[in-house]
Structure 1
């Protein structure tokens, strides 16, 4: 009897997720080719994949006030969202403060994250030039770029982040035959 119950449980466990994903219920849809392209876009540390557009600190200040300050505070000092400024010199202390200015190794990562995930309640809302502007504002608040600097696909990858050299490459293989065999 227990074998019948076990077999029935296995069949239900395997078939239930498959049935829930079938078009029978008319719930959801697959991504369109355009939506898939947007999701598959990768922004490299050297700026590969960055779109056209540009933004400056002044424009970023206005966009940040309208779209970001409600979570991150008016000067990115944190509120219900994380702190985005400060923390330089704290990474080797007992209480490191990991912010854009203290921890992130590449400015292009900031652009990519804002573009994909912010504002939290409306990700993808900002146009590329607005993302460049918000990135410029946050970089300026961290003392990384000047008030008059303009960020675009050429200038953003050239920004030298304070922690760029703070990461150590892990030489261990993570795939393939070497990963399965001890040295």
Structure 2
């Protein structure tokens, strides 16, 4: 303090940071009798590969990360109807079908069939987010079937299609060439 006034803002910030670091250092001590976890700061528990596997569900455009299983258009139609109604009238989200040729119009419709560059993105989205009230509860077979159904409804695959980890990444999406490649190393 100077002339009875409080510390100026930069000095207060520095003091707060110092006190925070001191408090953190005192909290990171290991209690007596507790084994060191090996963490740099001696807090937390290291994750095992098994711990990470439950969270590692992303699917790359080339199909890396796709699980075993398969599904066909007819099965996908039944699963879809159970959630979205017989005509897909559920109406909770954005349209998934149609929009082909609208991307350059004043009102583009960005659907699976008109905009998405990779079929694997559809699988990844369905697996993570559907059904709306219970995300990640569908089996791999159901997700493959839903992907097949939606790709069929967009005219991308025929009605007799069965998709799996080998065939899904090979589906040619209509707008695949409409995106700029990522120039960073290791990116697809």
Give the shorter-chain TM-score range. 0.7 to 0.9
How far, CA to CA, are the matches of 1:125 and 1:163 in structure 2?
29
2:177 aligned to which of 165, 168, 182: 165
Aligned to 1:54: 70
Answer yes or no: is the 8 Å Cα contact 1:76–1:85 preserved in 2.
no
2:136 aligned to which of 124, 127, 130: 124
Runs of 5+ consecutive residues of structure 2 not aligned to the other structure: 1-5, 24-44
Residue 155 in structure 1 maps to residue 171 in structure 2: no
Shift of 1:51: 1.3
How far, CA to CA, are the matches of 2:109 and 2:153 in structure 1?
15
Offset from partner CA, 1:104-131 (integer Å, 9 cap, x none): 1111111111112211221110010010
How far, CA to CA, are the matches of 2:142 and 2:110 in structure 1?
24
Aligned to 1:20: none
Q: Secondary structure at the match of 1:122?
A: coil
Q: 1:41 to 1:76 in 2, by over 3 A?
A: same
Shift of 1:157: 1.4
* TM-score normalised by the chain length of structure 1: 0.72
Q: Secondary structure at the match of 2:166?
A: coil
Aligned to 2:157: 145
Residue 136 in structure 1 maps to residue 148 in structure 2: yes
Aligned to 1:84: 96
Q: 1:159 to 1:115 in 2, by over 3 A?
A: same
Offset from partner CA, 1:145-182 (integer Å, 9 cap, x none): 111111111221121111111112254x69xxxxxxxx
Shift of 1:31: 7.6
Q: 1:82 to 1:2 in 2, by over 3 A?
A: same
Shift of 1:96: 0.9
Residue 115 in structure 1 maps to residue 127 in structure 2: yes
Moved over 3 A (4+): 2-16, 29-35, 73-78
Answer yes or no: is the 8 Å Cα contact 1:78–1:84 preserved in 2.
no
